[in-house]
Amino acid sequence: MSGETEALIVIDVQNDFCPGGALAVAGGDEIIPRINALMQEFPVTILTQDWHPEEHSSFAAMHEGKSPFETIDMPYGPQTLWPAHCVWGSEGAAFHPRLAIDPADLIIRKGFRPEVDSYSAFFENDHATPTGLAGYLRERGITDLTFVGLALDFCVAWSAIDAAKLGFNVRVLEGACRAIDLNGSLAAARDAMRAAGVALDA
């Protein structure tokens, strides 16, 4: 990778998404050595961090009679309910200890508003409230984005699709991602990424 027009965006490689965590993604920690190596190839690395208050509306326990992985209707649309995870300041919200975080230029947190979830690094799940990442990238002249991390079918996919819609050149390295795969979510996410013009590479 050459030139400062390319960025590696590492999505949510946090303890709670790795084996032993509150919302563990199978093999979530296996991708870390490759991600650390990729950081050495890119002029710019950005990390995202899922970062929820204790009483976040995406947590099943906040909704009487509801269980994790059920879907409810929120004012902004359907929302999957999750076990409590990535509570800000907790060990689960910390980056995995083997992830190299020193090379990152920027760490962007998302999901900190109690009333709305935020899978994408660009917009909250209302598809309207921006995180500010697009402005940061544009101001730096970054045009080409490579996404890796967790989970492929949620935060990676939603981030990559938003990036493509915003006009960035986008690819996802699937081998440096792992998926939750809930009710066909992986196949749906791959179709949606392809339809949005996201390149899916190994």
Contacts to Zn ion by CB under 5 A:
50, 111
DSSP reduced 3-state for 128? coil
Q: Report the nearest approach of ligand VGL to the CB of residue 5 (Å).
A: 26
Of 86, 155, 162, 177, which is the active-site residue?
155
Which amino acid is present at 107? I
Q: How far is the CB of 8 from Zn ion (least distance, A)?
A: 21
For residue 94, the minimal CB distance to ligand VGL (Å) is: 14
Helices and strands of the chain, counted as H and E runs: 4, 8
Cβ-based neighbours of 97, under 8 Å, separated by 6 or more: 15
Look up 86 and say whether it is catalytic: no
C-alpha torsion sign, points 187, 75, 67, 25? positive
Catalytic status, residue 110: yes
- In terms of Cβ atoms closer than 10 Å to its own Cβ (0-12, 13-18, 19+), residue 201 is exposed
Spatial contact of 152 and 174, defined as CB atoms under 8 Å apart = yes
User: Does 155 participate in catalysis according to the annotation?
Assistant: yes
Q: Does 16 bind ligand VGL (CB under 6 A)?
A: no
Bridge partners of residue 20, in order along the sequence: none
Which residue number, 17 or 42, has a Cβ lying nearer to Zn ion?
Answer: 17
Residue 81 as a binder of ligand VGL (CB under 6 A): the answer is no
Instruction: Tell me whether residue 50 or residue 153 sits nearer to Zn ion (CB atom).
Output: 50
User: Per CB under 6 A, does 150 bind ligand VGL?
Assistant: yes
| Contact stretch for ligand VGL (CB under 6 A) within 95-103, 122-130, 150-158, 168-176 | 150-158
Assess 22 for contact with ligand VGL (CB under 6 A): no
Q: How would you class 46 by CB atoms within 10 Å of its CB: exposed for 0-12, middle for 13-18, buried for 19 or more?
A: buried
Catalytic positions are 12, 110, 155
Residues binding ligand VGL (CB under 6 A): 12, 17, 50, 82, 119, 150-151, 154-155
